[in-house]
Amino acid sequence: MTRVALVGCGGLGVPAAWTLALGGHRQFRLIDADVVEESNLHRQVLYTTPDLGRPKAERLAEILRDRFGADVQIAPARLDETNAAALLDGCDAVLEGSDDALAKFAVNDWSVAQPRNRTAVIAAAIGRRGQWFTVTPTSSCYRCLFEAPPPPESLATCAIAGVLGPVTGQVGGYAGRSLLQALAGRPDAAIGALMRFSPRGLLRTVVAPAHDCRCRN
């Protein structure tokens, strides 16, 4: 059975995990170093007041085990390019939903380096908008779209810019569904395409493989 790594157990990771579990998925590795804070509760809706101060990965693992009988591993760490290989070792697919742009590129690069199991969904949300992108063995990758991470000083985070709670619920759920589709080998609109969610609806931009991208080698 496929083990899915969830990078980030917050606003996107919680609804993504719930969607994956409802879709029948049972093997997870939860990668997150944060604890539950009061400001999280409006959008990370599986956590409640008694969970404040508890590690998110630990609490989400309990919920997935209790509710679904899931097999859940925990990695209390913040993923980056230096530890991605170790943290993702033994996983077959990744859903990246942290608030760290560099982690998204690290997950993409780990994924495209896998000879057979190249399956990742990379999601983000801020303000009233969100997006997700699915990488498969035959699709373009995140670097075909964004060659390199933006400079750190240009990055906004949810902690600074805020995010509308229901947006993370929608985008995380969509991202989880896209991963289920990819794992099942079914067609999905997000494979090799940037899906953007905003108050005006969904917008899909197909990303052609860049001929000089590392995913073509």
Active centre residues (catalytic): 158
Query: According to CB under 5 A, which one of 124, 163, 195, 215 is a site residue for Zn ion?
Result: 215
Stretch that binds Zn ion, among 22-30, 69-77, 119-127, 140-148 (CB under 5 A): 140-148
Q: Is 143 in the site for Zn ion (CB under 5 A)?
A: yes
Q: Is 163 in the site for Zn ion (CB under 5 A)?
A: no
Q: Is 195 in the site for Zn ion (CB under 5 A)?
A: no
Shortest distance (Å) from residue 210 CB to Zn ion: 6
Task: Pick between residue 63 and residue 141 the one whose CB is nearest to Zn ion.
Answer: 141
Q: Is 213 in the site for Zn ion (CB under 5 A)?
A: yes
| Number of amino acids touching Zn ion (CB under 5 A) | 5
Query: According to CB under 5 A, which one of 61, 144, 164, 194 is a site residue for Zn ion?
Result: 144
Q: Is 84 helix (H, G, I), strand (E, B) or coil?
A: helix
Q: Is 145 in the site for Zn ion (CB under 5 A)?
A: no
Q: Is 22 in the site for Zn ion (CB under 5 A)?
A: no
Residue 133 zone, left/alpha/beta (φ > 0; ψ -120 to 50; rest): beta
Shortest distance (Å) from residue 140 CB to Zn ion: 5
Give the sign of the dihedral formed by CA 174, CA 180, CA 186, CA 191: positive
Q: How far apart (Å, rounded) are the C-alpha atoms in residues 211 and 216?
A: 7
Residue 159 contacts residue 2 (beta carbons within 8 Å): no
Q: How far apart (Å, rounded) are the C-alpha atoms in residues 214 and 216?
A: 5
Q: Is 207 in the site for Zn ion (CB under 5 A)?
A: no
Give the sign of the dihedral formed by CA 17, CA 20, CA 24, CA 28: negative
**CB-based burial label for 129 (10 Å; 0-12, 13-18, 19+):** middle
Query: According to CB under 5 A, which one of 79, 87, 141, 175 is a site residue for Zn ion?
Result: 141
Q: How far apart (Å, rounded) are the C-alpha atoms in residues 26 and 44?
A: 20
Stretch that binds Zn ion, among 17-25, 143-151, 157-165, 178-186 (CB under 5 A): 143-151
The residue ranges that bind Zn ion (CB under 5 A) are 141, 143-144, 213, 215
